[in-house]
């Protein structure tokens, strides 16, 4: 389950901030794609793979900006390079902002689609899902694709598949904090931690009989053994 507001500007800023990304320092790789859906005489176009990526379930997903000065939509392309025969092909997820009309009203939406390249059919295949900007997301599977009736993200992109897991991680990563490592220690761990010495340069131990006597008896260790004996007796009941 998820629980966050999807703000596209925050999403875009996160994935265009280099400190959030990994970098491939090797020479840019050629990647191929089609401009249109399947067409008999269409030839593939050549580009170069971005050198910035994230890793999701051990898969590198390369991120590049889309749009230009004449057609700027703050688009982002998340590419999973896929080898077919001797070429790398641009299988990707594409996000951006646009406006569509529903019931004679303009609705600002995030446009999202998944695209695969099909060399055998000389074209690309695309699956769309548009959803409102600033949407509160509790469950990514339940996101309604507003360009169609009764269509949800989990159904269109098959919940549980690799593709759906990639989409889920890409959507939520900028908004969900990583799990905290500050877990509450158990009673046994708390006792054990007390056995560790706490020294500092300004702290001095007085060499008194009382202190040497306590160190000799190992008072904390006795408490631990006593606790363990009680635990064993309780477990036998």
Interior angle at CA 128, CA 7 and CA 85, nearest 5: 115
Q: For residue 181, is it within any domain?
A: no
Per-residue model confidence as pLDDT tens digits over 138-190 = 999 999 999 887 789 999 898 888 999 999 999 999 998 654 443 444 444 44
Domain match, 73 and 124 both? yes
Q: For residue 26, is it within any domain?
A: yes
Give pLDDT, residue 2. 66
Domain match, 52 and 134 both? yes
Label residue 50 by pLDDT band (50, 70, 90).
very high
Give pLDDT, residue 68. 55
Give pLDDT, residue 178. 58
Please give the structure tokens belonging to residue 98.
């646009």
Task: Give the residue-averaged pLDDT of 201-228.
Answer: 46
Count of structural domains within the chain = 2
Domain match, 205 and 229 both? yes
Show the DSSP H helices in the chain as ranges: 8-15, 153-156, 162-172, 187-193, 209-217, 219-236
- Compute the distance between CA of residue 76 and CA of residue 16 in angstroms, rounded to an integer: 9
- Compute the distance between CA of residue 60 and CA of residue 52 in angstroms, rounded to an integer: 9
Domain match, 95 and 143 both? yes
Per-residue model confidence as pLDDT tens digits over 222-236 = 544 554 444 444 444
Give the SS3 label for residue 158. Answer: coil
Task: Give the residue-averaged pLDDT of 206-235.
Answer: 46
Task: Give the residue-averaged pLDDT of 214-222.
Answer: 48
Q: For residue 98, is it within any domain?
A: yes
Q: For residue 180, is it within any domain?
A: no
Give pLDDT, residue 199. 44
Cα pseudo-dihedral 13, 164, 77, 144, rounded to 10: -70
226, with CB counted inside 10 A (0-12, 13-18, 19+), is exposed
Domain match, 191 and 167 both? no
Domain match, 51 and 78 both? yes
- Residue 5 Cα to chain centre, angstroms: 15
Domain match, 196 and 166 both? no
Domain match, 206 and 92 both? no
From 146, 172, 198, the end of a domain falls on 172
Question: Which range, of 9-13, 121-125, 233-237, averages the lowest pLDDT?
Answer: 233-237
Q: For residue 182, is it within any domain?
A: no
Label residue 22 by pLDDT band (50, 70, 90).
very high
Which of 31, 8, 18, 212 has the alpha carbon at shortest distance from 98?
8
Domain match, 15 and 85 both? yes
Name the residue range of residue 143's domain: 4-172
Domain match, 62 and 109 both? yes
Is residue 53 scored above 70 in pLDDT? yes
Q: For residue 148, is it within any domain?
A: yes
Domain match, 33 and 82 both? yes
Q: What is the mean pLDDT of the chain?
A: 79
Task: Give the residue-averaged pLDDT of 190-203.
Answer: 43
Asked if residue 75 lies in contact with residue 63, where contact means CB atoms within 8 angstroms, the answer is no
Domain match, 11 and 92 both? yes
Q: For residue 228, is it within any domain?
A: yes
């Amino acid at each position: 389950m998820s629980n966050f507001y999807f703000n596209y500007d925050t999403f875009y800023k996160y994935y265009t901030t280099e400190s959030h990304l990994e970098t491939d320092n090797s020479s840019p790789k050629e990647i191929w794609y089609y401009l249109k859906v399947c067409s008999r005489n269409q030839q593939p176009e050549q580009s170069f793979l971005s050198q910035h990526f994230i890793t999701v379930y051990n898969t590198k997903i390369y991120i590049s900006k889309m749009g230009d000065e004449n057609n700027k939509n703050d688009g982002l392309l998340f590419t999973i390079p896929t080898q077919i025969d001797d070429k790398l092909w641009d299988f990707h997820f594409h996000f951006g902002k646009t406006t569509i009309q529903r019931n004679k009203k303009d609705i600002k939406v995030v446009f999202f689609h998944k695209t695969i390249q099909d060399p055998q059919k000389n074209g690309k295949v695309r699956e769309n899902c548009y959803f409102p900007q600033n949407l509160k997301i509790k469950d990514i599977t339940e996101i309604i694709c507003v360009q169609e009736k009764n269509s949800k993200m989990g159904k269109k992109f098959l919940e549980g598949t690799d593709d759906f897991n990639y989409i889920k991680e890409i959507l939520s990563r900028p908004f969900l904090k990583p799990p905290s490592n500050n877990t509450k220690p158990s009673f046994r761990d708390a006792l054990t931690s007390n056995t560790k010495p706490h020294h500092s340069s300004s702290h001095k131990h007085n060499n008194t009989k009382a202190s040497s006597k306590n160190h000799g008896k190992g008072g904390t260790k006795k408490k631990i053994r006593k606790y363990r004996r009680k635990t064993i007796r309780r477990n036998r009941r």
